[in-house]
Amino acid sequence: MKFITGSGLLDQRPVVGDIRVPGDKSISHRSIMFGSLAKGETNIKGFLEGEDALATLAAFRAMGVIIEGPEDGRVVVHGVGMNGLKEPKDSLYLGNSGTSMRLLVGLLAGQNFSVTLTGDNSLSSRPMGRVVEPLRLMGANIEMTSNGRPPITINGGASLQGIDYLLPMASAQVKSCVLLAGMYAEGQTSTTEPAPTRDHTERMLAGMGYHLTRNGACSCLSGGGELTASTIDIPADISSAAFFMVAASIVPHSDLTLRHVGVNPTRTGVIQILELMGANLSLSNEKIVGGEPVADIRVQYAPLTGIDIPEALVPLAIDEFPVLFIAAACAKGTTVLTGAEELRVKESDRIQAMVDGLVALGIQAKGTPDGAIIEGGCLGSGYEKVEIQSQDDHRIAMAFAVASLQSAAKIVIHECDNVATSFPNFAALACSVGFQLKED
Ligand code: S3P
């Protein structure tokens, strides 16, 4: 499927509306995983009905968990307890979803059955050594390809020992993987991260009654605990809201409200970066829902200026860089990103994919090993139509749909099917607030 956009510059419409984007992807995955391991019935609302979270849901069904829904974001998980998962009949296919694979390998490392995890072409080329190595240190028996890629086979029956693991990179997936294996290990397991990353695993495990301590960069738990079923109200995903934050920031006269967005401080780097660039964002209705901060976010147009993005904000905005590159291309002056080499191993090499697309639109942009340098300019100037390759990456596709709002050229964005992994109704919601976007 392709996105075909209009030219936002020739026919400019402000981005106006009051919307709620779909549920948080990270929390949706974890709600199924932890609900399945709890004893009793976990009631979830606001679940993301995107392919990634549905891959996790299907995996737990295949391991014998009864799960009702999703229906209108509601899911009921009939938890089987920490040791109640059953050996699946086939390998577990996890589609495009890195979070499913990296968290599941940790959770399955200590089971008494064997299982193989597979994925699509993109997931099959993503590095898995980062999770397999610490699990092997714990005593897990795991196989992957010789270059450290999926499929991953976890041979059951290993007895795991707790470890103190110093993460070599800022990754919530690696941290979560080790902590989940730690629940099945003898003794204590701790993770220490080089920079703060999203802490949904820690919040949710603690919220469901698993004893977990946190001390600065260190999270620590002991094996053998239990989870208690609960009610989980999933906020709207700030990573999906980010597309609309940038959209309203770059189009004059825009005024958009995004409702009930998760604003966990480990996820709000995008707000801080946009504010440093001059964006006009305001938060209201701030409250805590199910242990996670949420707020309504109002975004009004404001001229943006290029900045040097502080490296400390990079892990706090790691999924938002595709659309932040569009903000940078629409800003006055130069934006410099460093310390973001992790972007090269996401669903695509996001530095390369974004730089290639921006250059096709006539923007001066250059990739560096750990980031990019982007000069603000006129998107699509001198072209009637520009073709962009999304590299099958949902966030690249949506970022260039945002770019079309300030583009002199129409944009054809190829390979947009994967938008459904994180944001199934993106095109319709975008059109409802002023985008000119057709699916073809
Ligand atoms: C996620 C962690 C991040 C993020 C991904 C979801 C999670 O990955 O990019 O979309 O839910 O833990 P890394 O931990 O590899 O940075």
293 with 313, same domain: the answer is yes
Residue ending a domain, among 233, 249, 273, is 233
Q: Which of 129, 167, 121 is nearest to 147 (CA)?
A: 129
Question: Which two structure tokens, joined as six digits, stand for 246?
Answer: 């940038």
What is residue 89's DSSP assignment? S
pLDDT surpasses 90 at 117: yes
The residue out of 233, 252, 269 marking a domain boundary is 233
Round the average pLDDT of the chain to a whole number and report it. Answer: 98
CB 397, CB 426: distance < 8 Å: no
The predicted structure's pLDDT at residue 191: 99
Do 143 and 279 belong to one domain?
no
Q: Is it the case that residue 379 has pLDDT exceeding 90?
A: yes
**The pLDDT of residue 249:** 98
Task: Tell me what the mean pLDDT of segment 58-72 comes to.
Answer: 98
Q: Whose CA is nearest to atom 16 of ligand 1?
A: 171
Asked if residues 305 and 327 have their Cβ atoms less than 8 Å apart, the reply is: no
172 CB near ligand 1 (under 6 Å):
yes
Percentage of the chain beyond pLDDT 90 is 100
Q: Identify the three-state secondary structure at position 51.
A: helix
319 lines ligand 1 (CB under 6 A): yes
Q: Is 173 in the pocket of ligand 1 (CB under 6 A)?
A: yes
Q: Which residues contact 182 (CB under 8 A, 6 or more apart)?
A: 138, 160, 162, 163, 188, 189, 221, 222, 223
> Can you name the residues that pair with 18 across neighbouring β-strands?
257
What value does the mean pLDDT take over residues 179-194? 98
CA separation for the pair 274, 327 (Å, rounded): 8
3-state secondary structure (DSSP) of residue 362: coil
Could you tell me what percent of the chain has a pLDDT over 70? 100
Residue 56 CB less than 6 A away from ligand 1: no
Residues 14/255, Cβ–Cβ less than 8 Å: yes
Whether 190 and 113 map to the same domain: the answer is: yes
Mutate which of 30, 33, 319, 398 for ligand 1 pocket (most atoms within 8 A of beta carbon): 319
Shared-domain flag, residues 13 and 86 = no
The domain that holds 330 is classified in CATH as: 3.65.10.10
pLDDT digit string (tens) for 230-263?
999 999 999 999 999 999 999 999 999 999 999 9
Domain total in the chain: 2
Residue 64, phi then psi, degrees to nearest 5: 90, 5
pLDDT, position 159: 97
Residues 330 and 396 in one domain: yes
pLDDT 10s digits, 67-96: 999 999 999 999 999 999 999 999 999 999
**Containing domain of residue 136, as a range?**
25-233
> Of the residues 99, 104, 314, which should be mutated to test ligand 1's pocket, given the most ligand atoms within 8 Å of the CB?
99
pLDDT mean over 157-164:
97
The alpha carbon dihedral of 416, 422, 424, 427 has a sign of negative
Q: What is the mean pLDDT of residues 113-138?
A: 98
* 36 and 169 housed in the same domain: yes
Cis peptide, bond prior to residue 151, ω within 30 of zero: yes
Among 214, 186, 237, 200, CA closest to 103: 200
Q: Which of 233, 262, 296 is the last residue of a domain?
A: 233
pLDDT single digits (tens) 315-351: 999 999 999 999 999 999 999 999 999 999 999 999 9
Residue indicated by tokens 């099959």: 124
Both 319 and 355 in one domain: the answer is yes
Centre of ligand 1 from the C-alpha of residue 171, in Å: 6
- Domain shared by 363 and 413, yes or no: yes
**159 shares a domain with 307:** no
DSSP string, 224-277: T---B--EEEPPBPHHHHHHHHHHHHHSTT-EEEEEEEE--TTTTHHHHHHHHT
**Closest C-alpha to 150, from 128, 177, 174:** 128
User: Do both 11 and 48 map to the same domain?
Assistant: no
Pair (53, 80) in one structural domain: yes
What is the per-residue pLDDT for 309? Answer: 98
**277 and 248 belong to one structural domain:** yes
Residues 265, 351: Cα–Cα separation, whole Å: 25
Taking the model in full, what pTM does it have? 0.98
Q: Is the pLDDT of residue 290 over 90?
A: no
Query: From ligand 1's centre to the CA of 25, what distance in Å?
Result: 10
Q: Which band of pLDDT confidence, cut at 50, 70 and 90, is reported for residue 135? A: very high
Pocket flag, ligand 1, residue 193 (CB < 6 Å): no
Cβ contacts of 177 within 8 Å, gap of 6 or more: 102, 103, 105, 106, 107, 131, 134, 135
Question: So which residues are the catalytic ones?
Answer: 319
